[in-house]
A and B are shown apart, each in its own frame.
Chain A
Amino acid sequence: MTATTPPMIKMAAVNKHFGSLHVLRDVDLEVDRGQVVVVLGPSGSGKSTLCRTINRLEPIDQGTIEVDGAPLPAEGRELARLRADVGMVFQQFNLFAHKTVIENVTLGPIKVRKLGRSQAHETAMTLLDRVGITDQADKYPAQLSGGQQQRAAIARALAMRPKVMLFDEPTSALDPEMINEVLDVMVALADEGMTMLVITHEMGFARRAAHRVVFMSDGEIVEDAAPQEFFTAPRSDRARDFLGKILTH
């Protein structure tokens, strides 16, 4: 152990275009080990793109991204290994539709981590218990409620024993009564010290679990502050404007 461990995520001068659209503009972002960072911003500001560049689901045009001190490898086996260490939870859950919940959770451990079937199954059941859906283990995703699907998706990501978890609006596709069951799982994860980057507009989660709030607008990181500070005294007009819109209802 050296005295200066590298940040878990380190993005420096990252730029990304979709055609002529400049979606990430000189983004610098560091997330330390054990830190929970909430990313906020208007729709289309580049939050999802930012999140997806970290495990290279989206390649970048310029800049550098390091995860746990190592630069992102190019497409191939190395990249697959890195992705195994970076958990990702999607807005639309993206559970494998042709596999049961337990098969969803054991696929990665068996195929990537090369665990034995029974050991993978055992770990998966522990995780399903942790997210509260052991009784759904043998069902197909389509048979589950949205909240249950998202908890299964979190279990699937955790089964890889990731170093860091990325969440892209994990509760935005859920009916209101299911939001809390997912947020509770995420808060518990944060309390256990998981490093997390969470795109969400759930203020309650940000207040309870986040160490930092990052505000994005037009592909730029405009503010980076403690939650309390950001919500009570945003510095930029863009952030004030945005908060005004989401706090009115």
Chain B
Amino acid sequence: MQPVISFLGAVVGYFDPVIDNIGLFADAFLHTLEIVVYAAVGSLALGTVVAAFRVSPVSPLRWVGTSWVTVFRNCPLTVVLFFCAFGLPEIGINGAYFWFGVTGLVLYTSAFVSEAVRSGINSVSAGQAEAARAIGLTFRQSMGQVVFPQAFRTVVPPLGSVIIAMIKNSAIVGAFGVGNELFSVHATLVSARGLALIPVLLGVAAGYLIITLTGGALLGVLERKVAIAR
């Protein structure tokens, strides 16, 4: 009995850097949650608009959509964030680093959302959109009333992957002065205060896992819902 207890004691003791700073972890966790919720809403909305541009009957819009995806899908996130954090103030757009970080994530992720939504749109037969236009629905109405509701089903799983990747990518925004988000906890505790690296990183990883696994579970529920609604 005694060795087991002392072993457990040692394990718990190992995580003292986390337990002693649980308040800091909690704040950082909520801050990261805030970033990824804004970024998820923003990139889903923007990515859907970009996807609509890409299938629009107006060729300049198609061109804008295609260029958008090409640029943001092929640029490293770090570069996009650099532009947001240091480029935007340069051209006179000022604001909190928080919003620059969110903007960078939204721009970058919107390209991937757009591709997922576009593949969903392509899974709906062309005849559906033609019939919609033939009764006089505008392009926006045909998308909103006929194409998107049917594309949604096929789009949920790939969109889930895109959003989970975005959550993980949000760790990078800490490096751009957003501060106080989950990943930057290690800088505060390890670099500045000299606490042990590994337990702190495990704490950070646990924080991300809580967000991504919860997100994944919610998506699973949504996926089953839309599958039944067929």
Contacts and interface: CB of A to CB of B under 8 A. Distances in A.
B215 interface: no
Given A96-B146, A98-B149, A98-B150, A111 B137 contact: yes
Contacts of B137: 80, 107-108, 111-112
A86 B149 CA distance: 25
Interface stretch (B7-15, B128-136, B157-165): B128-136
A157 B150 contact: no
Interface residues of A, number: 28
Contacts of A75: 57-58
A111 B131 contact: no
B135 A157 contact: yes
A10 interface: no
Interface string A140-161: 0000000000000100110010
A186 interface: no
A160 B127 contact: no
A111 B132 CA distance: 11
A77 B57 contact: no
Contacts of B130: 57, 90, 94
Interface in B126-157: 127-128, 130-138, 141, 145-146, 149-150
Nearest to A89: B134
A157 B130 CA distance: 13
Given A94-B127, A98-B150, A107 B145 contact: yes
Contacts of A81: 136
Nearest to B132: A96
A149 to B, nearest CB: 12
B138 A77 contact: yes
A138 B132 CA distance: 20
Given A75-B57, A108-B137, A112-B137, A94 B128 contact: yes
Interface string A165-202: 00000000000000000000000000000000000000
A92 B57 CA distance: 23
B134 A88 contact: yes
Given A75-B57, A75-B58, A97 B133 contact: no
A88 B131 CA distance: 8
A9 interface: no
Given A75-B57, A75-B58, A96-B146, A108 B127 contact: no
24 contacts: A57-B130, A80-B133, A80-B138, A81-B136, A83-B133, A83-B135, A84-B136, A92-B127, A94-B125, A94-B130, A94-B131, A96-B128, A96-B145, A97-B128, A98-B146, A98-B149, A107-B135, A107-B137, A108-B137, A111-B145, A112-B137, A153-B131, A157-B135, A160-B136
Interface of B: 57-58, 125, 127-128, 130-138, 141, 145-146, 149-150
